[in-house]
Structure 1
């Protein structure tokens, strides 16, 4: 997604109000953006807290600041500045976070973002974007850029199955029909889920939906999802995020407020490091049961 992000930011940079701040990240990836923006491209160094405060000041003066760094260095290291300088004032700063979830693999927990959107959605006026596919990046940049409030953009890898066609961007998209309930997946993890479920018979799989914007209250699930959930009373949520504050809790809260009864609920989420061993993103997903085979098995269990 990073290359496509650079291309779309170059397109947006014709807006003279746009300023791009990087926390010493983007070597051999963002050079075209640096060339396009000139002095409006600022390397703030390894000083993420200061970068957020500078971005807030630029926004207060009427500019459009975008910040860019590794996900945990954004939301965790600079949380106080995001809370006090950006969100309390409702400033439309755009926080680009690369490597959501277990994206940085063997670099370990200091470089993982497993509780990011749960934490940030506790802050006032915050909106979160989690593009699921590389094809989503164009619309994500446009939507987040035009949003008149603080926005956190969690970037990962595009993982769509081979020979699949991604439908046009929307906060909610149905990728597969199914009769055994509803599965909601957050962001890029839907690619492996899509590949795992598409060969199952529709009678033994839930309808597969991907959500790319949070909180749910800002973009409630569409009528088709609501109808399927009311009819089957079965819900499964899959996310590369801890359970606390995640989409699973948000979906249950939304269902209860909407008066929807759920008889069967399954939640696959990031469990940290069950084996105490670090490895690739795929290895760490496997440790949490977020691999394609386990997703398929849980989907079939939902149907029984």
Structure 2
């Protein structure tokens, strides 16, 4: 999604208030943005704590501030600065983490971001965006840029729809595949990995596949069609490339309980930061049981 991210920010860069900070990353991808912004494109170096504090100061002056790094270096290393300098003052800094979830694969657990939004959503007024497809990025940039009630975190990954599949317009909640079976809610790009396996199943047993792209989960904003499907089948499956604690599974469960909706909730989540061997993002998903084969087998029970 880096190219789409760069293209979307190029249009926003026309505003003299926009400032972009990077933790010495984005090479071979963000050069057009660097050229457009000139002195407003700042390489903060491998000093993410300082970068976030500088971003907070710039936001306090009324600038439109975007701070970018590999996901764990964007939220984990400078967490104290995000908490104290940004969130406590409800400053609209946009934190952009590239390679969310297991996105950096073989680079190992130091580069895996599987607890990111759970941690950040504990902070005041934090908003999280997890675009599902590459095509979502322009809309997400607009929404994040317009969010001024506090900070926002963008978890960028890689859009993974099947070849030739038509990506629907962006929305917080999207029904990607219709079906009469139990609904499946998948967060971010993970949703795209299930489409091919699900769409050819018989209508009666085919799960309704929903993609979620914004957090926290808001009870009043749950789609009526999703609620109807949960009530009819008495079941829901949540899949996310995030640890169980603080994830969408618990958020959605709380929303359903608050509305008095009783259902069997099955949660697929990232089970470990590392395994006995290193591997690609898809391999790590398989180890955690986040792959389409595991999902289909689970739905049969």
Range into which the TM-score falls when normalised by the shorter chain: over 0.9
- TM-score normalized with structure 2 length: 0.97
Contact residue 49 and residue 81 of structure 1 kept, 8 A: yes
Structure 2: gaps spanning 5 or more residues: none
Equivalence for 2:81: 81
Equivalence for 2:173: 172
C-alpha distance after superposition, 1:18-42 (max 9, x if no partner): 0000000011110000000000000
* In structure 2, C-alpha distance between the alignment counterparts of 1:275 and 1:70, rounded to whole Å: 21
Which residues of 2 match residues 154-169 of structure 1 at below 5 A? 154-169=155-170
C-alpha distance after superposition, 1:96-117 (max 9, x if no partner): 1000000000110000001000
Contact residue 55 and residue 67 of structure 2 kept, 8 A: yes
Equivalence for 1:46: 46
Structure 1: gaps spanning 5 or more residues: none
Equivalence for 2:144: 144
* In structure 2, C-alpha distance between the alignment counterparts of 1:281 and 1:248, rounded to whole Å: 21
Which residues of 2 match residues 83-102 of structure 1 at below 5 A? 83-102=83-102
Aligned length: 300
- TM-score normalized with structure 1 length: 0.96
Q: Which deviates more from structure 2 when the two are superposed, residues 52-61 or residues 283-292?
A: 283-292
Which residues of 2 match residues 193-272 of structure 1 at below 5 A? 193-217=194-218, 220-262=221-263, 264-272=264-272
Does the C-alpha gap of structure 1 residues 20 and 218 become closer, same or farther in structure 2, counting only changes over 3 Å?
farther
C-alpha distance after superposition, 1:218-259 (max 9, x if no partner): 872111111111221110000000010000111101100011
1:5 maps onto 2:5 in alignment: yes
* In structure 2, C-alpha distance between the alignment counterparts of 1:297 and 1:66, rounded to whole Å: 42
Moved over 6 A (4+): none
Does the C-alpha gap of structure 1 residues 219 and 241 become closer, same or farther in structure 2, counting only changes over 3 Å?
farther
Tell me the SS of whatever aligns to 2:84. Answer: helix
C-alpha distance after superposition, 1:66-99 (max 9, x if no partner): 0000000011101100011111110000001000
* In structure 2, C-alpha distance between the alignment counterparts of 1:91 and 1:31, rounded to whole Å: 27
Does the C-alpha gap of structure 1 residues 253 and 280 become closer, same or farther in structure 2, counting only changes over 3 Å?
same
* In structure 2, C-alpha distance between the alignment counterparts of 1:216 and 1:228, rounded to whole Å: 18
**1:202 deviation in Å?**
2.0
**1:274 deviation in Å?**
6.8
Contact residue 190 and residue 210 of structure 1 kept, 8 A: yes
Equivalence for 2:182: 181
Which residues of 2 match residues 263-302 of structure 1 at below 5 A? 264-272=264-272, 275-301=275-301
Tell me the SS of whatever aligns to 1:209. Answer: strand
* In structure 2, C-alpha distance between the alignment counterparts of 1:101 and 1:219, rounded to whole Å: 27
**1:178 deviation in Å?**
1.4
